[in-house]
A and B are shown apart, each in its own frame.
Chain A
């Protein structure tokens, strides 16, 4: 799991050489530590004229306890004042050497392509003031929330901007676009906190959609947002699954960890460490969904479908059982478990289903027709179930990890491994905790406005972008 290249180029002589010859220079990414502030630095809030999110954004920034500045426009100063945000004023013309950990730009005021220049006006003088592991969040309105074709065109254009900026900022910084539907203005908290914090270390170039909540977001202890919640995590004995369990436990959840009997000793070790219950079962068995439901008879708040395998072979060489075995584990069993839990009404109000898809499911990958099919199917399941679940005050979302440093990637041939690690905006692989933090955000009781989306945890990989 050690990324020796990163260690070398981050040493003094390594830095010197890598800089001269133009090698990728991965920055050591900031990551969350318990008790740390949401943003370890100052947030600059800007807006295109006529936007509707300045005040809700100011309120989130204020609640998060972040130091903040706004550009001098009176609408922003008024918004900050009414949101109770003690924001300093930042005039890019006379800004001196002020630096920022995060740049937040409300682009909802852009109603025509000619107004997209507001992006240039805000970011041109400020982007160089972004600190290492900085955060950029641009907010817009999704097409269906726009009044006319001109506005929808301009708002869709934002995506080209954020995805490009993500490739420009470098130094471990991330750039996201958040589309907020009309009615979703009060649902920004959990998403903004995640995207502005080091928890989103390996998430960049993403488009997040926030809508009206499936229910009212509850008041939270942001240090322990999952207090009192029961979470089922499948495939929890190792790697990403173990990281998910650890993170949800940190956030206060009571865990039920599931894995196959063959991994029981690993599972027990994790369960002991996290004071969790366990289910040892092969989820593809006929009676498995019912058995799991029996174990969760008291109700469950969060279901994380993480269990998954690869059975790589080109389709020409793929025997049916290799296809079917994988599809059972990665997709069909998830569908059956969901069905049983929903039929029995075991998912409590404001419950969450979070699935683990994959970059392969988006981009496709040679030798992985079976795997990519199953992971694209997971996305299909998320999209298909989201409206139905919303009616029951539940949400379903997915994460799609890119190159994550695990035992599995550690065993890859070096050329493929290095390509995977470097071919993204961070020039490095992600860590299991990066996936886990993303799941924790989607699983948060405050993420009521996030439903039916897929968020890649891939450092803005070049693949499938």
Chain B
């Protein structure tokens, strides 16, 4: 029985620029984009013909035909076709959860290398048959005789042409994620101004990262896009202040600016054991050292839908023997600026930390200058399952650049879930 674990190296990542919905990638399928992201990674790290331990990934919005999306994408790349793959889906946590799955297998020695990836399109969305029509067709299929089939098909009505469109709402509350986040913003007293400040900073940081070449070996152009389409380098709090609220009613604080737009894109990260990487003379940007998933009851206990990372964090810190202040980089996924600010406020709040997290003292504040230093989802966009891979690769590179230290990732997901993880510099922690 295996009683030891090994360190898991983050070798590097690759993604395609993220596009705004119904724009540059409107004709690209999930499989197209994922294959492109993987091919870029394969080229960057010379994985041609390589048989990896596995490829884990997924998409949140998936066509029914994409039964084995990740495996089919792998078959379209230059990886050895003998590389196994499977689909993962945990809403916006998909990408990071996939990385945890691959990292755990490497740590246990079950595999030596693997890719975690994710993709999403809100343009090429899976539109399904009208539910009533679908039932009629299935009934007709069950009939034994032609007459029976015709009898069933005669039930088809013109209204059945209306398709079933994927809905952006929580099945158990009927509220959209934005509406849920608006409730959280109210509950935590998060104001418009601070949300707009966070948003402007996200754009400025991502623009600066592109300018100084930080993104050069993280992003490969795709379908004419070289940078994330949502990025507005000249964004400012003044401009953002002019936008009308889109969630939380007339007096709401959440706008199209300080909420992530619907986006299309794909990302991938190569993880490996140290030996595997060294054998191939591949870099080790960082170690993937901790991961934790948590969920909240947003239905009956009415906890904020996107508050699960706030719960996951102390469990992970406790296990790792770390405090919230022990990090050089904080990568908090900006689903909405308000989500980030609610999470930070919750960690500072004595009541939340004692009553909900069961801690003796609040987790405390973080140094805001260490937050999303190379931009966040508000600037880059947020193709749901691709966000985890974007962040892991970017944080690993930031740690590599610094040569020391530790970074933490926090990602909120639909259905009241959240995923957090720790990456440590391969140069050793401070």
The number of A-B residue pairs with CB atoms under 8 Å apart is 60
B214 within 8 A of A: no
Known: A72-B189, A96-B248. A81 touches B350 (CB 8 A): yes
A88 within 8 A of B: yes
When distances are taken between beta carbons in the complex, the residues of chain B under 8 Å from A86 are 351, 355-356
B349 within 8 A of A: yes
9 closest residue pairs by CB, A with B: A91-B189, A96-B186, A81-B350, A86-B355, A81-B354, A94-B191, A80-B351, A81-B351, A94-B189
- CB of A77 within 8 A of CB of B350, answer yes
A78 within 8 A of B: yes
26 contacts between A and B (CB under 8 A): A70-B351, A74-B350, A77-B349, A77-B351, A80-B350, A81-B350, A81-B354, A84-B354, A86-B355, A89-B187, A89-B188, A90-B187, A90-B189, A91-B189, A91-B190, A93-B191, A94-B185, A94-B186, A94-B191, A94-B192, A95-B186, A95-B189, A96-B183, A96-B185, A96-B249, A98-B186
A87 within 8 A of B: yes
A97 within 8 A of B: yes
A156 vs chain B, min Cβ distance (A): 33
B345 within 8 A of A: yes
When distances are taken between beta carbons in the complex, the residues of chain B under 8 Å from A78 are 350
- CB of B189 within 8 A of CB of A84, answer no
When distances are taken between beta carbons in the complex, the residues of chain B under 8 Å from A84 are 354-355
Please give me the residue from chain A that is nearest to B187 by CB atom: A88
B417 within 8 A of A: no
A159 vs chain B, min Cβ distance (A): 31
Q: A94-B192, A95-B189, A96-B185 are in contact. List 13 more A-B contacts (CB 8 A).
A: A70-B351, A72-B189, A84-B355, A86-B356, A88-B187, A89-B189, A89-B349, A94-B185, A94-B191, A96-B183, A96-B249, A96-B251, A98-B187
Q: What 1/0 flags go to B185-227 for Cβ under 8 Å of A?
A: 1111111100000000000000000000000000000000000
When distances are taken between beta carbons in the complex, the residues of chain A under 8 Å from B351 are 70, 77, 80-81, 85-87, 89
When distances are taken between beta carbons in the complex, the residues of chain B under 8 Å from A94 are 185-186, 189-192, 253
A78 vs chain B, min Cβ distance (A): 5
Partner of B189, one of A74, A81, A85, A93: A93
- Of the candidates B188, B189, B350, the one having the most CB atoms from chain A within 10 angstroms of its own CB is B189
- CB of B345 within 8 A of CB of A89, answer yes
When distances are taken between beta carbons in the complex, the residues of chain B under 8 Å from A77 are 349-351
Please give me the residue from chain B that is nearest to A86 by CB atom: B355
A86 to B355, CA, bound (A): 5
Q: How large is the interface on B (under 10, 10 to 19, 20 to 34, 35 or more residues)?
A: 20 to 34
A93 to B188, CA, bound (A): 11
Please give me the residue from chain B that is nearest to A96 by CB atom: B186
B182 within 8 A of A: yes
- Of the candidates B187, B192, B248, the one having the most CB atoms from chain A within 10 angstroms of its own CB is B187
When distances are taken between beta carbons in the complex, the residues of chain B under 8 Å from A85 are 351, 355
Please give me the residue from chain B that is nearest to A62 by CB atom: B355
Please give me the residue from chain B that is nearest to A85 by CB atom: B351
When distances are taken between beta carbons in the complex, the residues of chain A under 8 Å from B253 are 94
B421 within 8 A of A: no
A42 vs chain B, min Cβ distance (A): 11
A63 vs chain B, min Cβ distance (A): 14
Please give me the residue from chain B that is nearest to A93 by CB atom: B191
B353 within 8 A of A: yes
- Of the candidates A94, A96, A97, the one having the most CB atoms from chain B within 10 angstroms of its own CB is A94
Please give me the residue from chain B that is nearest to A91 by CB atom: B189
Q: What 1/0 flags go to A85-112 for Cβ under 8 Å of B?
A: 1111111011111100000000000000
A87 to B351, CA, bound (A): 7
Q: How large is the interface on A (under 10, 10 to 19, 20 to 34, 35 or more residues)?
A: 20 to 34
Known: A89-B187, A89-B188. A96 touches B354 (CB 8 A): no
When distances are taken between beta carbons in the complex, the residues of chain B under 8 Å from A82 are 350
B353 vs chain A, min Cβ distance (A): 7
Please give me the residue from chain A that is nearest to B195 by CB atom: A94
Give B236-268 interface residues, CB cut-off 8 Å to A.
248-249, 251-253
Please give me the residue from chain B that is nearest to A84 by CB atom: B355
When distances are taken between beta carbons in the complex, the residues of chain B under 8 Å from A93 are 189, 191
- CB of A81 within 8 A of CB of B355, answer yes
B90 vs chain A, min Cβ distance (A): 28
A326 to B253, CA, bound (A): 66
Please give me the residue from chain A that is nearest to B342 by CB atom: A89
A82 to B350, CA, bound (A): 8
When distances are taken between beta carbons in the complex, the residues of chain B under 8 Å from A95 are 186, 189
A90 to B186, CA, bound (A): 7
A8 to B141, CA, bound (A): 63
A81 to B352, CA, bound (A): 8
Q: What 1/0 flags go to A36-77 for Cβ under 8 Å of B?
A: 000000000000000000000000000000000010101001
A322 to B356, CA, bound (A): 67
When distances are taken between beta carbons in the complex, the residues of chain A under 8 Å from B186 are 94-98
A81 vs chain B, min Cβ distance (A): 4
- CB of A96 within 8 A of CB of B182, answer yes
When distances are taken between beta carbons in the complex, the residues of chain A under 8 Å from B188 are 89, 91
Please give me the residue from chain B that is nearest to A67 by CB atom: B302
A77 to B353, CA, bound (A): 11
A99 vs chain B, min Cβ distance (A): 11
Please give me the residue from chain A that is nearest to B183 by CB atom: A96
A328 to B48, CA, bound (A): 109
Please give me the residue from chain B that is nearest to A97 by CB atom: B249
When distances are taken between beta carbons in the complex, the residues of chain A under 8 Å from B185 are 94, 96
A87 to B253, CA, bound (A): 22
A97 to B355, CA, bound (A): 24
Please give me the residue from chain A that is nearest to B185 by CB atom: A94
A88 to B346, CA, bound (A): 10
When distances are taken between beta carbons in the complex, the residues of chain A under 8 Å from B252 are 96
A387 vs chain B, min Cβ distance (A): 41
Give B155-209 interface residues, CB cut-off 8 Å to A.
182-183, 185-192
B17 vs chain A, min Cβ distance (A): 34
B88 vs chain A, min Cβ distance (A): 34
A376 to B188, CA, bound (A): 51
B220 vs chain A, min Cβ distance (A): 41
When distances are taken between beta carbons in the complex, the residues of chain B under 8 Å from A87 are 351
Please give me the residue from chain A that is nearest to B182 by CB atom: A96
When distances are taken between beta carbons in the complex, the residues of chain A under 8 Å from B192 are 94
- Of the candidates A70, A96, A98, the one having the most CB atoms from chain B within 10 angstroms of its own CB is A96
A95 to B192, CA, bound (A): 12
When distances are taken between beta carbons in the complex, the residues of chain B under 8 Å from A81 are 350-351, 353-355
Give B337-388 interface residues, CB cut-off 8 Å to A.
345, 349-351, 353-356
A87 to B355, CA, bound (A): 9
B180 vs chain A, min Cβ distance (A): 13
B190 vs chain A, min Cβ distance (A): 6
B351 vs chain A, min Cβ distance (A): 5
A166 to B38, CA, bound (A): 69
When distances are taken between beta carbons in the complex, the residues of chain A under 8 Å from B353 are 81
A112 to B253, CA, bound (A): 37
B340 vs chain A, min Cβ distance (A): 15
Please give me the residue from chain A that is nearest to B192 by CB atom: A94
A295 to B221, CA, bound (A): 98
A457 vs chain B, min Cβ distance (A): 36
